[in-house]
Structures are given as C-alpha cells and as structure tokens.
Structure 1
Amino acid sequence: MPENPLITVTDENFADVVLGAQLPVLVDFWAKWCGPCRPLAVSLAELAPEFEGRALIAKLDSDENPETTRRYRVMSMPTLLFFRAGIVTATLVGLRPKNVLRTALTTAIDPAESYANR
C-alpha cells in the first residue's frame, strides 16, 4: 500500500479535484485535534487501494480550509461527504467501522448495487 493513498484537497483545488472528478469522491473533513479522525483516516487509507479506479478518497483539513468547510456546512469532525458529478449524494458524521465505509463507497459508486445485495 502506498504511504498515503489518500488525496489531499484544499480550498484552492477542491473544485478541480472533487467537483470536476469523473469518479465518485469521498471527502473526509477532519482536523488535527479530532481524536476519532485518526482511526477513520487509517480505515480510509486501507480502503483506498480497494476502490482505486472506481472512486477517489480525499482528505480536507477543516481548520486549514475554512472556506470549503463552511460552504458544505460541516459542523462536526469527522464528516464524510460523498460526491458524484459535483453533487453531494450522501453524508456520514462520526467514526464508522470499515465495513460501513466500504458499503457507503460501494453505494456511492453504483447506487443500484446496494439494492441488489440486500
């Protein structure tokens, strides 16, 4: 696994990297002071290779990028926003187990897939 398989996004590159992405994108809004953000980042880094070529997983430091954090009304850390074609399609707030993250990513890639597996 690469040292850091997660893409870092900022206020400056958010529009290009996230809103302009051809693939679905999960953005992890985190902060250095956030305890639950650390284990979540580990889970996301472990999942990134599994979803390579099907989805992007990005991190945005909310303290260093207040403009994007405000624009999407992120109030709690960690917050995960799922984007498809530049539109937020789902939100998860708080630490979640890796299997929940995997299911959410699978659904973000192909919403019909989540219904087929029920």
Structure 2
Amino acid sequence: METSLETIALFSLKLAYEEEGLSPILRDDMVMGDYQKDIFELLVKRGDVQAIQFKMNECLSLAMDALGGVEKPLGRELSKLSAQLSQAQSLEQLGQPLLAIKGYLRDIL
C-alpha cells in the first residue's frame, strides 16, 4: 500500500509541477519530502486512515487543478475516484480506490 500512496503522490506532483523540457520530478526530489514511502509506511502501521486521506487529498487537489478541475472530463473522473478514497473507513477499504487512482493517473501521464 505504501508504494501505491507514494506513486499517487509522485504522479500528482508531476501533473502539477513538471514542465516540458525540464528535469522530471523523481521520488527523491525535495517536493516529495512529505510524500515518501517511509512516511506512508508509518501511517499505514498506525492504521491512520484519516492522515492518509489528508495527504492523498493534498496531492489529488494539485492534480485536479492541473487537469482543469471538475469542469473538465479528466478532472471529473479524478473527482469520482477521489470521492471513493474519501469514503474509506479502514485500510482495507483504501486498497481498491488507491489502485484505481494510481492506474488513472498513470494513464493520463
């Protein structure tokens, strides 16, 4: 799960900040500081679903803005997937929405 969380953060930040012709954003970049695998690992070990959702919502909000918001088709779909993530009440319930979001972001990158 930690890898999926980190990947979603990376893809979201790439959408928001990566510019054509410049160096790509990588997992070890400064912008990834609060979204690294070890931070997510700690949150998963604690079972802190709310903190995970908060961190994901921060990243997905940036991605949403980069996609043009809910007024645009890509943003609407991301909004639907994000809503499923927000409704999760346990770590087990986070699994499927995380995989769906990760796959969606991978497809649009």
| Pairwise TM-score range, normalised by the shorter structure | under 0.3
TM-score relative to the length of structure 2: 0.28
The structure in which a higher percent of residues are helix is 2
